[in-house]
Structure 1
Amino acid sequence: MRALVYNGPRDVQVVDMPDAQIERATDVLVKITSTNICGSDLHMYEGRTDMEPGRILGHENLGEVIEVGAAVDRVKVGDRVCLPFNIGCGFCANCEKGLSGFCLTCNPGMAGAAYGFAGMGPYSGGQAEYLRVPYGDFNCLVLPRDSQEKESDYVMLSDIFPTGYHATELAGVQPGDNVVIYGAGPVGLMAACSATLRGAAMVMVVDTHKDRLTLAEKLGAIAIDDTEGNGVEQVMELTGGQGADRGCECVGYQCCNMHHEEVPNLTMNNLVATVKATGRIGVVGVFVPEDPNSPDKLQRRGQLAFDFGAFWNKGQSMGTGQANVKAYNRFLSRLIEKDKVKPSWIVSHELPLEQAPEAYQNFDQRKNGWTKVVLKPGMDKPKRSK
């Protein structure tokens, strides 16, 4: 099969790899029809993780079931399925609580497993023609009949839509709240969408990329351009000096200041400054336990110079961690099915799998107009570029 393989920093290539196949009776084999490039893929692409050369990338996957293991009962050949990026067993203590992002059995020695991701188990990614899905009955979200017409909507259920929603869940967004979101990338935009779905009175999105802020405005959010470094002041002015009720961190450890220099603690401390006393913060941007190649000495050890004194003094609270996709993907799927939400509006490019190296390069450079890339194994020519 054709698959995108990581060779080293900023070096990925589509090559022939052994076909994915059923390995255990509980497995499902999926022919991939859509697979997204995620912002967290760029951490590996840039060499900021311990990703091993030779592995297949890709954790945002959707496709058609072509084979099932002997112990698979619910999922059938021919089903179209979306696959949560986190792999769960369904029966450990965390999975039973709905915390499938922290499964205790799929990645021995660490809570949490994922496709094609550094440190999250040996599982191959789905930026390929075929993908093995462990514990298929648990991990496959079977899609409705209209899934082909809305494929670029449904594939967002693999990660960024539930992750954006998870940010608002961690922050405790309620009807009537004012919400500030740091990051206008795909997850931040999905958090803005989710905050609106949850009834937020005002949603503010802070970033320095004007093309992405324009997309936030299309959602009805207030775009706050932090290019001059005065984003905190703008948020405080809009909230009458009190700060937002809730805040969402959707950038992570590679956030940059107005000079495009990495400042790992920037968004976290800005959230402490812009969320009101007793407000709550939800953090879904990726922060890692170690980052040896960081220009910041603390970040190399996975540490931040966090304004804990101000955080404590304001009586704020915080929720963190990756999204437990299965806790959200089914009801979010119904919103797509009934045309209540259309997450594909953030898609800027649908490209053949063979163009993945070029897509990674452009996405990594944050080129204007490169917001969300969907790769299509089997596609000969780009379907859409806007």
Structure 2
Amino acid sequence: MTTHQTHENGPKGQTDSAHKLSRLKMPDDLTGKAVLDIGCNEGFFCNQALKRNANRVIGIDMDEEFLRRAKEFYVDPRVTYLHQGWNKLPEGSFDLILWTSAMHYELDPQSVLVSIASKLTLGGTFILECGVKEVPRKEMVYSLRHDGGNWYPTLPLIEEMLGKAGFSYRMVSHAELVGTDPIPRVVFHCKRRIPSVIIVSGQTQVGKSDLAGLLYPAAKKVISLDHFISRIAVSECVHTPLEKFIKESTDPNSLGPTYDGIDANGLTEAYISLLSKGVAESDDLVVIEGYMTEKQIQLLEAKLSNKAFVWVARKSISSTGLLPTAKSLAIQSKLNEEATQAVKGSEGDCSNEVEQLRKELRHAKRYPWKYLKSAIQQRRK
């Protein structure tokens, strides 16, 4: 009997399964994971998942003879072989999904990719091996081979389809001709795309609003913390201790004490839990702009760790790189203090000079600290 796949300790089959395995780059450790092999053929890759300690493996295929061999070759209580197509995938979610050497049989691959995305766990991996025509146009290319005519996407088209299905992806094995196939195959590793959250944090008048403004056109959602707090503060109805604290303690002309007071009154968890609900699974980019304490930032990062990538943007005030927020604020506070003292020790009205210093502090991309300190010293003389 000639097999399609080449099995360990068996005769050579029609395909080099070991070489294909090396190109797929399956995870080495699947302990406790659930695996779905779409178009599993004779079960070679289902068995590879079992050898990597997968807890549950399902292989589906429309060819009953392939499935009969799979059940004969690989007997294990953890694996189930189902005679079905891929238009409706098995129940449950999966940590690893394989769809290899099969997409060219599907006339509507986009719908299958969307279905696969709905079955993939957050953090799971979808491995797609498919024939791809590397031309710059987005189209399906019809090509004849030994079993008839089939349709293959061009590279721009498959990349667009993966994006529309909600995947982030990277090509892990480049184009390679397989057997007598006229179209070379590539391998993609795909993950469910999750939101990116950029926290643009800092005290007032440090330029964070300018940076956030540059990000607004790309963001699906923007959360201004000042607006967030202010809306609660002026609301007629409050329901929680957090909302009550904000309403009773907020000075609309100075929100800083409210942010700090949230931590001081043990309301950080409630504040961050409420704020994190503003990030939805369907969001691509969310910008959160405003002052946050280090405790609040760390808790928000932890709260979103399983549902979003979190980036924290702070103002750089050192030519040697980024400084921690606390140190940055301490330096700015010191300079403001020195400027105030300099004005008090001067004759006449120096309010215009103070305002000029503040403008420099707000708008400079990198603060010229040595120059400013020199200017302060000159004003003191």
- TM-score if structure 1 supplies the norm length? 0.34
**Structure (1 or 2) with the larger CA radius of gyration:** 2
Of structures 1 and 2, the one with the larger relative CO (CA 8 A, separation 6+) is 1
> Greater helix percent: which structure?
2
- TM-score if structure 2 supplies the norm length? 0.34
